[in-house]
Structure 1
């Protein structure tokens, strides 16, 4: 028997329930997950603490030819550039071998960072609620339960203002090809929708990772910006290489969202890499 989960992703105690499981992986994507689980230990050996899959695949919402594969790898020590290169090579190999996925990403962190006080309501939440165990000890057992409150909102997405200048640089340096712009549209669209959702998450009182549901929740509280959020949700799933979309993100929707977020929830605690 499993604990009941509300339509808004909360358990009976009002905590955010873990959203994925290997049992929800659909048959089309099981070979992808199996290949990742088989290859990860060979890349990191005894330095590997644990590994997770997250995103649409463990939620059972992945779409053949459209969805990416997202992994989180926890090491027993701080990852090196060689480790990150190995993670990127793993994603490339999976993308080349399995046509049912469209790219992906591998995040690498040390076990100590994932369990640190600084990351308790950001990476810790990510592991405990948004990641599905694939290998090793599940760090969720060492983390608290989470509620959809303003602390969680601030620490997960209260840093958008920090990223907007970097986004402008990436847009300016990209050529006008679909190959160059489409990944940027997908990435920035998803980030903006998730930030918009967590802006209203405490009032909505729940959690979802569905971009359309996120945009609708946001739009109920900010009707003048609802159309922008819904468009970003659509492009997060069906990206188009359109520079005008990216420009609107960094010149209008993004700056407004960053300012409103800081006003409502405050700014995320700085990280060492932000210095």
Structure 2
């Protein structure tokens, strides 16, 4: 099953996606659906129908209670950054204000001139879980989506803590849909491209800590709730690690794809700030 959140005028609605059709489920967004109805309600829904091709897609979960991100979790990225494989996951957080839709603009803030791409597989939680066993963690995963952890590298490396480079407003596309675990191919590839040039390509099973391990670990620290999002980390090929480094620029188009889920296609533009030079 595939789920999405679409914008309708000044509101949003959660839809079940069947082919090119988006079927309303009666919930305000996918996060609300998971909290209030669950996947069973989504499967049974038979509301108003819309053409998916013309729909205005919001972040698949517009307002998650938590966005927990994992750094240095692909073997090839860890090696390109000159680090050793970690014993435990490296965690940081984003706020919901960072999220944008899968077709929205990525806005480059005037304060940063080192904005980088990081294509990622996202895990969306479907049920409340704390101190999960492997079986409980697997059952708590509602599905998967695509995220790009767009990062302001100059701010990230101002201190030893990464948070300040990772949660800028209007920076992080999430979508286009949530797919239930049965729809994610075992050999799915994550691919990031800039203006058609392929920059990242890695099997999602190259993760050091997989989805179930991450749910177990994070739920030991804090209760995970329906609609929470875990960004599982990026593979090798980021701009900051290139010689010379490469960063996003206005007028470019960033595409992030995971097999079985779909793709984010985001134009890159300058953020217009009143009074900025």
| Both proteins in one fold, TM over 0.5 | no
TM-score by length of 1: 0.25
TM-score by length of 2: 0.25
| Higher helix fraction (1 or 2) | 1
| Higher strand fraction (1 or 2) | 2
Greater relative CO (CA pairs within 8 A, separation 6+): 2
